[in-house]
Amino acid sequence: MIYKYIEKASDKLIVLLHGTGGNELSLLELGQIIDQNASLLGIRGNVNEKGMNRFFKRIKPGLFDLESLISETHKLKSFINQFLSEKTVKYDDIVILGYSNGANIIGSLIFHYGKMFKGVAMLHPMVPIKNFLVCEQNSQKIFISASINDPIVDLKEAITLEEMLVAANADILMKWYSSGHEISNEEITDLKKWYNKL
């Protein structure tokens, strides 16, 4: 996978997954705002939809190509494992953060693999796979943000996602905004507070 890695003298790593049309650089600034001392790994989605990078194919907006989603989920897991095994730095604290399409593949990743990270932040996510038996989350700490005015994500999606993860024993902080699909300043402030308590 194509990525951008910024190494800092710290045992903390934030992995960043962009939304549709973004790239490996899109969320680096947000990562820096959250923790200026953490190393950052921005990853680019493998799929190209009419020139826009994504982490998996979709049939139409809001309807995912599950075959692509599942195969890209396993590829992302292998990439992260491979990346970490090649580094001399051993990270104690890994937080993964995704926005929109990036949040959706993170949802699939933790649905399939359960607890993998110190913290998981999903900004404006949807339910990645419906009727899925979600793996045990072992109190994995998850931040979910959603907006009551999101034109892309129906608010029921965010609620169902939260319910599915709570049923699998995740430790969730769910925050609601009125901003729309964009990441708001208020959301960044809440995200930073959540991160600092991990």
Of the listed 11, 71, 179, 181, which one is catalytic? Answer: 181
Asked if 100 interacts with ligand MLT (CB under 6 A), we say yes
Distance CA 125, CA 27 (A): 16
Of the listed 18, 26, 35, 100, which one is catalytic? Answer: 100
Task: Respond yes or no: is residue 100 known to be catalytic.
Answer: yes
- Give the residue with the Cβ less far from ligand MLT, 154 or 190: 154
- Give the residue with the Cβ less far from ligand MLT, 66 or 152: 152
- Give the residue with the Cβ less far from ligand MLT, 19 or 42: 19
Distance CA 179, CA 96 (A): 23
- Label the pairing between strands 93-99 and 12-17: parallel
Task: Respond yes or no: is residue 10 known to be catalytic.
Answer: no
* Angstrom distances, CA of residue 93 to CA of 13, 39, 83, 109, 155: 6, 10, 15, 18, 31
Residues that bind ligand MLT (CB under 6 A): 19-20, 58, 61-62, 100-101, 104, 126, 152
- The catalytic residue positions are 100, 150, 181
